[in-house]
Amino acid sequence: MLAQEAARIIVDHGIRDYRVAKQKASERLGILGRGALPGNAEIETAVAAHLQIFGGEAHADHLRLLRVAALSAMEILAEFTPRLVGPVLAGTADHNSAVNLHVFADSPEVVAMELTQVGVSYRSYERRLKSRRGQVETYAGFEFRHNHTDIQATVFPVDGIRQAPMSPIDGKPMRRIDSEGVQELLL
């Protein structure tokens, strides 16, 4: 019940932080104590179920639009071997979700120069992600609008393509797919 309420909060209020959603859900349901909170994987499953039940065809259409925007942004960033990750890949994206890409370059500045060269206005950000060694590392990224969609491209070192950071959902390496994989999702 708590996972379902957290999923509703995530989808309806656009909260992407599962910890915050769990806390709000526990407050609403009057459940106290950290031991009673579901894991992130349970929340992710509940989000998928919520979107399937309440989103229906509209959710499927929106997910398709996000994946088309992802593919187009991946074409712009093709020289950086982009990979789609996150809710758009998992099928749990909602109207508040951005397309999350991992790109690989010698430096973030090279990606910034490419975006500028193709006429894309962007905002830089930093993202903290956990590595397999259990360390938290900070990566530069660029957020921009493309095809009426927010795109977030996080920049990893070139050799970072071989080792994905850990997923905050299940603690396993993040699932990543290339543009061919995105095209397969669109079939």
Q: What is the tens place of the pLDDT at every residue in 27-43?
A: 888 887 666 688 898 99
For position 16, what pLDDT does the model report? 80
| Residues 185, 30: Cα–Cα separation, whole Å | 40
**How would DSSP label each residue in 23-52?**
HHHHHHHT--SGGGPPPHHHHHHHHHHHII
For position 36, what pLDDT does the model report? 67
For position 182, what pLDDT does the model report? 97
Residue at 42: amino acid letter: E
For position 142, what pLDDT does the model report? 98
| Residues 57, 52: Cα–Cα separation, whole Å | 9
Global pTM reads: 0.86
For position 133, what pLDDT does the model report? 72
User: What residues have CB less than 8 Å from 3, skipping those under 6 apart?
Assistant: 25, 38, 42, 43, 45, 46
For position 53, what pLDDT does the model report? 87
For position 33, what pLDDT does the model report? 67
For position 17, what pLDDT does the model report? 86
* Residue 176, token pair as written in the block: 């990543």
Beta bridge partners of 152: 100, 143
Residues of the chain with pLDDT under 70: 33-36
For position 95, what pLDDT does the model report? 85
Which residue, among 148, 152, 162, has the nearest Cα to 127 in the 3D structure? 152
The whole-chain average pLDDT of the chain stands at: 92
E-assigned strand segments in the chain: 83-85, 99-104, 123-130, 136-146, 149-156
DSSP structural state of residue 76: H
